[in-house]
Amino acid sequence: MFLYLSKLLPLLFYPLGFACISLFLALLLLGRKPRISALLISFSLILLFVTSNAWISRLFMRTLEWQNLRTVELPTADAIVVLGGATKSAFRPRPGVDLAEQGDRVIYAAQLYRQQKAPVIILSGGRIDWGGGGTPESTDMAMILTSLGIPKKAIIEEPDSLNTYQNAVNTRKIVVEKGIKRVLLITSAMHMPRSLLIFKKQGMDVIPAPTDFLVSEGEMQELGATPKAAILNLIPNTSNLHEFTLAQKEYLGMLIYRLRGWL
């Protein structure tokens, strides 16, 4: 039940959901209290405008993504841990398992393995039944890694985790069982701050290896590169709204996880 509510309730507090609630209330109050209704409509428009322009969206995302930038070469470790969320199940008409937007996690794991940063790759991720079902994400990621030439003997699957906390708890069991001392943690850059705190809370020696950056120095420079670019980046865009929401989701997740004692 907690898992379901954790996915459902925050939707009401994200910009789009909050604006919809505000507009619905404005509609109900339109005849009786037109002034309040007008204020609610204005609030909704301002909220959507602010959260869907590139200036605000990228600056907000950067506060998360740039927390674990490395200035030195990534060290070696005993294992590479890859968190789920990187694949789409092999349902028709897909020809096989597809990489999601976060699929950089799997590619980066293969690259680090080939660079001999660690001899083992631990894939952590299950599949929520009411989310469409299918094979566990760990199995999907393993299929992609083996297709890239990573040997099966170097892959350990953890198919039971349904959120980041379970990723950490279940990975710790494998780490303890295998005598693994230090791990390289791979997840999306935006997701890394919360993931790192949770894994460290479980007592693991973790080195962050973020990937899937949505904001680079190039994107930041482009914002105000020219007066035309500066104006265009103020125009509302659904992709900016989506990315703002992703960042808000991470901060909300940190708050909820801290209240539950998971951080």
Report the CATH number at residue 149: 3.40.50.620
Q: Residue 132: is its pLDDT beyond 80?
A: no
Q: 28-85, pLDDT tens digit by residue?
A: 999 899 999 999 999 999 999 999 999 999 999 999 999 999 889 999 999 999 999 9
Count of beta carbons in the 10 Å neighbourhood of residue 219: 15
Helix (H) or strand (E) segment spanning residue 99: strand 98-99
- Domain membership of residue 26 (yes or no) is no
- Domain membership of residue 258 (yes or no) is no
Residue 117: DSSP 8-state: S
Q: 168-226, pLDDT tens digit by residue?
A: 999 999 999 999 999 999 999 999 999 999 999 999 999 999 999 999 999 999 999 99
Count CA atoms within 13 Å of residue 246 on its CB side. Answer: 25
- Domain membership of residue 110 (yes or no) is yes
Strand partners, 186: 82
State which residues form the domain around 142: 74-208
CA 240 to chain centre: 15
Question: What mean pLDDT comes out for the span 101-121?
Answer: 97
Separation CA 196–CA 260 (nearest Å): 16
Question: Which pLDDT score is estimated for 173?
Answer: 97
Domain count, the chain: 1
Nearest in space to 138 (alpha carbons), one of 159, 122, 121: 159
Question: Which pLDDT score is estimated for 127?
Answer: 86
- Domain membership of residue 103 (yes or no) is yes
- Domain membership of residue 132 (yes or no) is yes
Residue 188: DSSP 8-state: B
- Domain membership of residue 130 (yes or no) is yes
Q: Burial level of 160, CB count in 10 A (0-12/13-18/19+)? A: middle
pLDDT bin (cut points 50, 70, 90) of residue 128 is confident
- Domain membership of residue 80 (yes or no) is yes
Helix (H, G, I), strand (E, B) or coil at 122: strand
Tokens of 182: 């230090």
pLDDT bin (cut points 50, 70, 90) of residue 134 is confident
Question: Which pLDDT score is estimated for 13?
Answer: 84
Question: Which pLDDT score is estimated for 130?
Answer: 57
Average pLDDT, the chain: 93
- Domain membership of residue 259 (yes or no) is no
Helices (H) and strands (E) in the chain, counts: 11, 7
